[in-house]
Structure 1
Amino acid sequence: MDDEPMWAADHVVAPTPGSAITIPETANEFAIKGNHLTLVKGNQFDGRTKTDPHKHIHEFLRICDMFKYKDTENEAVRLMMFPLSLTREAKTWLDELNEGTIETWDELRTAFISRFFPPALFDRLLGEIRAFSQHENESLTDAWLRMKEMLRNCHGHNLSKGNIIKIFYHGLSEITQEVLNAAAGGIFLYKTPNQAYQLLEDKVLLKLDWAKNQKTKPSLKKPLLSPMKVAVILILTKLWPEWMP
């Protein structure tokens, strides 16, 4: 020790941490297909506030199901590929997990959702749904589409169709409520949840179909006159009285 530099005696090289994911043994070694890797990396999750972890899981599984590896369980492929689908804060989260803490896909999915869709976020989204109100100058169709988007983002809300209809109706303006009552041929909330839901869906489809037809109709506007034609018309108009007998 006395023959070594003094700094070397105090210099400790920390071990490189291992992966939090334990990959199960596979029947045969296999290589990830290039286009599979490209699709996964093209759908990366960064862990920021407005990104949806449930949608990421759904898209990730959809991509994985497109590829089959002989004698290799789907779970092994998912565990190997999922870290490549993460970037920024999400990748940092996975790298900081203790080594060997995840052994199955279900454990990985649960840990991922728990981190990026925490109970506090769920409570906030559910509260926003319960406090739904129609925006000023927002049409009935746009309000309903917005409500459905809020429901999709609040995974596991467990609201019944009847509760959704009542929350939506009471959040509408009085004028829009009357429109719904007229469309229902009476009191809208007297309908069954299925009838009320279908009525709203039908109005949305009708508006979307109408908008589509308007875009495809040929224009009926008269063609604009060229500057030369306009000048000729003005001259003739000015001289017209002189031509009269």
Structure 2
Amino acid sequence: MFRKEYIRIESSTQHSSVNDFVVINIPEEDVEPKQIILDPDDQPMWESAKTVAPTPNSAIIQLDVDDNFVINSTHLNMIRENKFDGYLRADPHDHIREFLAICNMFRYGETQSEAVKLLIFPFSLCDKAKTWFNELNEESITSWEQMRKAFINRFFPPSLFNRLLLEIRNFSQLVCENLTEAWLRLKNMLRKCHGHGLTKGAII
């Protein structure tokens, strides 16, 4: 390998204003090697990092399923279209009821039904609910019933239950509504207060 250097030679002719250039090939080995020093402060911060933190595992344990196990794409799409966001007006019991109704429309192996629920339940969550799920301890959920209880306890806490029960006990017919409308409004309040334990006599 050679490198080229250009040497300018001025003409000796008095009236000539043209400069001549001579090309000289110098063997590459004759070139003194250059040492490049990189300042660590000039490097991108992601290159200077020595270690990369491991990605956390899911809150759900690693499930034992068959190698050829596949979740129906239609099933998964229906779950994604019925998401729970975790905001105040969202009813976790209604979400679980709808989730199970969709799951019951599809059939998998007898031993795979619980695995399917656990695998696809996170895809039914968004916003605050998905943040809550991602903050659960790694591999802390080992069964569907445990997942259901953790979900209900978070989004239907005792404080919410007590508030709904108090609203029911203080219920009264509004001036602008007839008896039928008042009765339907009360039934809707009762439906949202899961586990209220009120008898028909107490409700009437």
What TM-score do the two structures reach when normalised by structure 2? Answer: 0.75
| Higher normalized strand content (fraction of residues) | 2
Q: For residue 23 of structure 1, report the CA deviation from its aligned partner.
A: 4.0
Q: For residue 26 of structure 1, report the CA deviation from its aligned partner.
A: 2.2
Deviations 1:61-99 (A, max 9, x none): 000011011354211000001001011111111011110
User: Counterpart of 1:189?
Assistant: none
Q: For residue 24 of structure 1, report the CA deviation from its aligned partner.
A: 2.8
Give the alignment partner of residue 133 of structure 2, picking from 94, 100, 111: 94
Give the alignment partner of residue 81 of structure 1, picking from 120, 144, 166: 120
Deviations 1:27-65 (A, max 9, x none): 453111111011101111010110100000000000001
CA contact (8 A) 2:79 2:123 kept: yes
Give the alignment partner of residue 78 of structure 2, picking from 26, 34, 39: 39
- Once the two structures are superposed, the pairs formed by residues 1-245 of structure 1 within 5 Å of their partners are 5=40, 11-70=50-109, 72-165=111-204
- Unaligned 5+ segments in structure 2 are 1-37
Q: For this pair of structures, how many residues does the alignment match?
A: 163
User: Counterpart of 2:33?
Assistant: none
Higher Cα radius of gyration = 2
Q: CA RMSD in A?
A: 1.9
The 1:71/1:149 distance shift into structure 2, 3 A limit, reads closer
CA contact (8 A) 1:23 1:80 kept: no
| Higher normalized helix content (fraction of residues) | 1
What TM-score do the two structures reach when normalised by structure 1? Answer: 0.63
